[in-house]
Amino acid sequence: MSIVVAVVGATGVVGREMASILAERQPAGMTTVVALASERSSGSQIPFGNDTLTVSTLDDSSFDGVDYALFSAGGAIAAQYAPVAASKGCVVIDNSSYFRLDPSVPLVVPEVNPDAVHAHTGIIANPNCSTAQLVVVLNPLLKAAGLKRVSVATYQSVSGAGKSALQELESQSRSNLNGVTQEPSVFSHPIAFNLIPQIDSFLDNGYTKEEMKVTNETRKILGCPTLPVAATAVRVPVFISHSEAVSIQTDQPISVTEARRVLELAPGVVVMDDPSQQVYPTPRALSGKDEVAVGRIRVDLSQENGLCFWCVGDNLRKGAALNAVQILELLLANRHR
Amino acid sequence: MSIVVAVVGATGVVGREMASILAERQPAGMTTVVALASERSSGSQIPFGNDTLTVSTLDDSSFDGVDYALFSAGGAIAAQYAPVAASKGCVVIDNSSYFRLDPSVPLVVPEVNPDAVHAHTGIIANPNCSTAQLVVVLNPLLKAAGLKRVSVATYQSVSGAGKSALQELESQSRSNLNGVTQEPSVFSHPIAFNLIPQIDSFLDNGYTKEEMKVTNETRKILGCPTLPVAATAVRVPVFISHSEAVSIQTDQPISVTEARRVLELAPGVVVMDDPSQQVYPTPRALSGKDEVAVGRIRVDLSQENGLCFWCVGDNLRKGAALNAVQILELLLANRHR
């Protein structure tokens, strides 16, 4: 039996990473990978392991004969084409925010809520990058001690904003080092040697959409619909990997030793936490890695039953493409049951 | 009457900023500025407005005839020479952490606790950079609504680690952009296009010294000795200005509008908070500025009576040199009473 997988938005940063991870992991049963993108990119080639894929134009007929489609093409394309694909029996795993909070669409992080995948009716949502890496660390702590509140300050790399953002950080940094000011175009403010405390647009409550994604998606994935979660999302001049300074309050007291132990046992998590040896996660060390790394685990001095930690993950992998491929693997494994 | 002011550690990043700010502000009554540093720097010149100062070697006789000395030469030099200076009737304003928590030494941020300066017995401490900018924002909120807890994630520029750190960020960034890896020497990990969740060394409680400075100095300056304060201090690839994502819980409810109003009236604070126009503080915009800028003021969704904000200040100015000069100005004003 042949299983055909399409990557929609294959020429984008995440789309290319999806193709690369599919080539690397070769999900059991997958026989063919099809690359789809807008007409502008049609005919271009993207790497697929040692091979390449030729990009075809996305249209309504693209999903004929396709079993699974990994979308990373933004909300508008997802809104238009995911239902088309689903109507043809293709299961869509969409990386945009468009379907994530739809009650009929599972929002899945395989290490956290794998069973949610069963309820799909053709479309499954892949979470926001900052949320995915957060919930794999929160979930074992939730199970061990319960969660009363979560507060997060993010340090997000520019790759989350796509290829042109990577280019802007590079060329602006180069200009600055040569004493030349380059006007920002992708970002609203200079990003080289700077910070921008805004990701996505602002909502009426003073939070950005990115920050509210962390709040709402964390609740949905953890199955805690009223969990108080507040985020401050900040863009930093880093190419790849998002970092998060997290403070939580648990229902039950949990010691640092016990927290470290449950995190060491948690799937998808690696504990890098040996301050005396200056061991803790950094974005450059985590780029290209599958795991979310956690360190700086300590008592939160500002609240009872509080813990602080620092977690870092590759936003293109666990934060996007890897998680989508893991969902595909879940679906393929279920198919054989 | 002549008033002689010495800058100790005059060739360092902060020492040079002290000289520059003295030249700029010309504190009333100051007639002469003397630059002091280690023997190695003796005879070198540092800018003083349009003029220069020639650096003399620091020794026990350096303080004869000196009325005030601004120290930025580290804890060991402060420990050795501040008492010498004080014994000769010279009032020391020290930027190191050495005396800050000494109950007999005032720790002063002029906008917050100017009256504390009166109790000095020859030595006054200047706070940690992250603390100084934090307390000017916290104090008006404390007065308006009381403070129950404070949680801070910092985004600290490399200039806080001195000249060699500025050079390391610059040369490492340049190398990286040319595809060359440069081993770190000032920092424990690469800083170019990276983040380091460690500033200063680790203590037994899992916090760094930098983080505990924020806790302990904030308490002392605000006069709230048991206020729960927890910090995560992170080095970011920015040259100048520290940024902070802050979450507080107040005793009494305070609306965002009211918080913004008290901050607009607060000395040393400028409110930059118009999300719809993408107005909020960034480190590059605040470099060279005297004020601490605050934005992203909003309800903290994770706790009752909670507020979140983002504040940015020039760590060499308000975080160090400017605050020291402001303390000098306070002393000079009191002298004339």
- Interval A248-271: pLDDT, tens: 999 999 999 999 999 999 999 999
- The answer to whether residues B193 and B118 belong to one domain is no
Q: Do A275 and B206 touch (CB under 8 A)?
A: yes
pLDDT of residue A335: 82
Report how many Cβ contacts below 8 Å link chain A to chain B.
Answer: 179
**Catalytic residue selected from B120, B242, B308, B311:** B242
Say whether both B295 and B326 belong to one domain.
no
A17 residue type, one letter = E
- Cα A211 versus chain centre, distance: 14
Strand positions, DSSP E, A58-184: 68-71, 91-94, 123-125, 147-155
Full domain range(s) for residue A165: 131-315
Closest by Cα among A241, A245, A234 to A189 = A234
- Closest Cα in chain A to B238: A193
Q: Do A194 and B295 touch (CB under 8 A)?
A: no
Tell me, yes or no, whether A136 and A90 share the same domain.
Answer: no
Tell me how far apart the alpha carbons of residues A91 and A81 are, in angstroms, rounded to a whole number.
Answer: 12
Under an 8 A CB cutoff, do A197 and B284 touch? no
- Flag if B238 and A206 touch (Cβ within 8 Å): no
* A186 reaches B (C-beta below 8 A): no
CATH code at position B70:
3.40.50.720
Q: Is the Cβ–Cβ distance between B15 and B93 less than 8 Å?
A: no
Query: Tokens at residue A98, please?
Result: 């468009």
pLDDT given for residue B336 in this prediction: 59
Q: Over chain A, what is the mean pLDDT?
A: 97
Kind plus residue range of the DSSP H or E element containing A14: helix A13-25
Give me the mean pLDDT over the B215-235 stretch: 98
Given an 8 Å threshold on Cβ–Cβ distance, is A228 in contact with B170?
A: no
Inform me whether the C-beta atom of residue A205 falls under 8 Å from chain B C-beta atoms.
yes
Cβ contacts of B283 on chain A, cutoff 8 Å: 194-195
Residue B335: its pLDDT value, please? 82
pLDDT class of B176 with cuts at 50, 70, 90: very high
Its ipTM equals 0.96
Q: What DSSP assignment string belongs to A57-87?
A: E--GGGGTT-SEEEE-SHHHHHHHHHHHHHH
Gap from A187 CA to chain B (nearest CA, Å): 11
B137 and B116 housed in the same domain: no
B 149-178 near A (Cβ less than 8 A):
149-151, 153, 155, 169-170, 173-174, 177
Q: Confirm whether A242 is a catalytic residue.
A: yes
DSSP label at B97? S
Q: Which residues are CB-contacts of A11 (< 8 A; sequence separation ≥ 6)? A: A35, A37, A41, A44, A46, A55
Query: CA A107 → CA A135, A191, A241, A242, A315, distances in Å?
Result: 12, 31, 22, 20, 17
Residues B35-51: what's their mean pLDDT?
96
Of A232, A280, A295, the CB nearest to B245: A232
The residue to which tokens 């685990």 are assigned: A297
CB-CB: which of A196, A230, A310 is closest to B302? A230
Residues A203 and A86 in one domain: no
Residue type for B123, please?
Answer: I
Check whether residue A232 and residue A103 sit in a common domain.
no
Cα of B253 to nearest chain A Cα, Å: 17
**Average pLDDT, stretch B207-212?**
98
- Using alpha carbons, list the distances in angstroms from residue B230 to A228, A301, B131, B314: 19, 5, 12, 22
Residues of A in contact with B304 (CB under 8 A): none
Q: Which of B312, B299, B311 is nearest to B250 (CA)?
A: B299
Minimal Cβ distance to B280: which of A150, A177, A197: A197
pLDDT averaged over every residue in chain B: 97
Q: How many domains does chain B have?
A: 2
Are the C-beta atoms of A233 and A199 separated by less than 8 Å? yes
CATH (domain of A290): 3.30.360.10
Beta bridge partners of A35: A7, A55
Which of B:288-317 have CB within 8 Å of A? Answer: 295-303, 306, 308, 310
**Subunit contact B198:A283, Cβ cutoff 8 A:** no
Strand order in the sheet with B3-8: B45-48, B51-57, B30-37, B3-8, B68-71, B91-94, B123-125
| One domain for residues B247 and B135 | yes
A113 and A195 fall within a common domain: no
- Which residues in chain A are closer than 8 Å to B150, comparing Cβ atoms? 302
d(CA A162, CA A155): 16
Best probe of the B interface among A183, A187, A284, by most B CBs < 10 A, is A284
Q: Are residues B97 and B217 in the same domain?
A: no
Of B214, B220, B270, B266, which Cα lies nearest the Cα of B244?
Answer: B214
What is the percent of chain B where pLDDT is above 70?
A: 99
Does the structure show a pLDDT above 80 at B169?
yes
pLDDT of B337 over the 80 cut: no
- B305 alpha-carbon distance from chain centroid: 29
Alpha helix positions (H), chain B = 13-25, 74-87, 129-145, 163-177, 209-222, 256-265, 283-286, 322-335
- Mean pLDDT of the region B21-27: 97
- Cα nearest neighbour of A226 on chain B: B302
Nearest to A314 by CA among A275, A279, A287, A337: A287
Statement to judge: residues B211 and B111 lie in one domain: no
Q: What residue of B is the nearest CA neighbor of A311?
A: B197
**B321: Cβ–Cβ under 8 A, 6 or more apart, which residues?**
B14, B15, B17, B18, B20, B21, B70, B72, B95
Q: What is the pTM of this model?
A: 0.97
Instruction: Tell me: do A141 and A286 sit in the same domain.
Output: yes
Are B91 and B41 found together in one domain?
yes
- How many Å is the Cα radius of gyration of chain A? 20
pLDDT at A132: 98
Residue from the list B170, B283, B296 with its beta carbon closest to the beta carbon of A232: B296
Q: What per-residue confidence (pLDDT) applies to A336?
A: 59
Q: Is A194 an interface residue toward B (CB < 8 Å)? A: yes
Residue B183: per-residue pLDDT? 92
Which residue has tokens 């349009």? Answer: B50
Q: Which long-range contacts (CB under 8 A, 24 or more apart) does A41-49 make?
A: A41/A10, A41/A11, A44/A11, A46/A10, A46/A11, A46/A15, A46/A16, A46/A19, A47/A16, A47/A19, A47/A20, A47/A23, A48/A19, A48/A20, A48/A22, A48/A23, A49/A20, A49/A23, A49/A24
pLDDT < 50 stretches in chain A: none
| The A51-57 sheet, strands edge to edge | A45-48, A51-57, A30-37, A3-8, A68-71, A91-94, A123-125
Given the residues A90, A120, A129, A308, select the one marked as catalytic: A129
